[in-house]
Amino acid sequence: MIIGSKLFYFENLPSTNTHAALLLKNSDIREGTIIYTNYQSAGRGQIGNRWESEDGSNLLISIVLFPSMINPLDQFLISMAISLGICDFLKRFIPSITIKWPNDIYVNNDKIAGILIEHSILGDKIENTIAGIGLNINQNEFLSNAPNPISLSLLTGKNFDLNNCLQMLAADLDNRYKQLISELFTQIRDEYISRLYRLNKWCKYKDRNSIYTGRIISVTEYGRLLIERPGGEISEYSFKEVDFIL
Ligand code: BTN
């Protein structure tokens, strides 16, 4: 086991990702170490957003990785593997889990988990990666203005033991990380694409030019999203260049 071979628990932290970065700077830390906490006072989301999580209700974890087998240009592979590991965990309890590109984990039209991956790149090598995961488990009420949060307990009507969940999640992420180490890149990419939220469905999107109807058909080798228009034209997007409209 690599992911979860060492676990560091903190009752509360500003942010597990920030703390993982601090540990990487100041100490020797083994690959696969998980830093986790009950509460974050400054939990970070993508594009500078805050991550809301009630004290003691959810999984808030950061995994330290040294993915030397991945070229920095191919870093989206790491994001895909982590997303799939979370899906594997959730599949144990609920059906219809999808990945909203690039790496939000969805159940129907609601978000159950978010991922914040931070790489440190030195020359042509990834020196280290911090994979932060916020996974909503037992929270039943969300107070922030996040548009569509959901949790495992809201979906199932049950409460879950967080420590058991952490063990299972670590095992599922470890399997996916081992696929990366074994360079099963095509398998990871194909599974990721087949799990995409709205794959092949005609839906509304907004880019800097217009609102239009299109369908997601794939992602490129470098993780850019491909949306086809009714006329067959294909648009390619980086993160934040396109919005999904409901
Ligand atoms: C998103 O905006 O969807 C990404 C959310 C990522 C939240 C997790 S919670 C654990 C880790 N520590 C952080 O500060 N953020 C990530």
Q: What is the mean pLDDT of residues 97-122?
A: 98
Structure-token match 């609601």, residue found: 110
pLDDT in tens, 195-222: 999 999 999 999 999 999 999 999 999 9
Q: 140-173 pLDDT, tens per residue?
A: 999 988 889 999 999 999 999 999 999 999 999 9
Residues in the chain, total: 246
Quote the tokens at residue 239. 């993160």
Q: Is the CB of 85 under 6 A from ligand 1?
A: no
Say if residue 21's pLDDT is above 90: yes
Residue 52 beta carbon below 6 angstroms from any ligand 1 atom: no
Q: What pLDDT score does 62 carry?
A: 98
* Mutate which of 39, 44, 148 for ligand 1 pocket (most atoms within 8 A of beta carbon): 44
**CA dist 89 → 11, 14, 156, 218, 239 (Å):** 24, 26, 15, 24, 25
Fold of 7-194: BirA Bifunctional Protein; domain 2 (3.30.930)
Residues 6 or more apart from 207 whose CB is under 8 A from it? 235, 237, 241, 242, 243
Q: Please indicate whether residue 43, judged by its CB atom, sits closer than 6 Å to ligand 1.
A: yes
Q: pTM (2 decimals)?
A: 0.98
**pLDDT tens digit string along 39-94?**
999 999 998 899 999 999 999 999 999 999 999 999 999 999 999 999 999 999 99
Atom of ligand 1 nearest to the CA of 61: 10
Class of domain 203-245: mainly beta
Ligand 1 atom showing the smallest separation from residue 104 Cα: 3
Three-class SS state of 232: coil
Our mutation pick for probing the ligand 1 site, out of 58, 116, 162, 239, counting the most ligand atoms within 8 A of Cβ, is 116
- CB of 149 closer than 6 angstroms to any ligand 1 atom: no
**Strands, DSSP E only, in the chain?**
7-13, 34-40, 59-65, 97-100, 104-107, 110-122, 125-135, 203-206, 211-219, 225-228, 234-237, 243-245
Q: Give me the pLDDT at residue 48, please.
A: 87
- Provide the residue ranges of all domains of the chain, joining segments of one domain with +: 7-194, 203-245
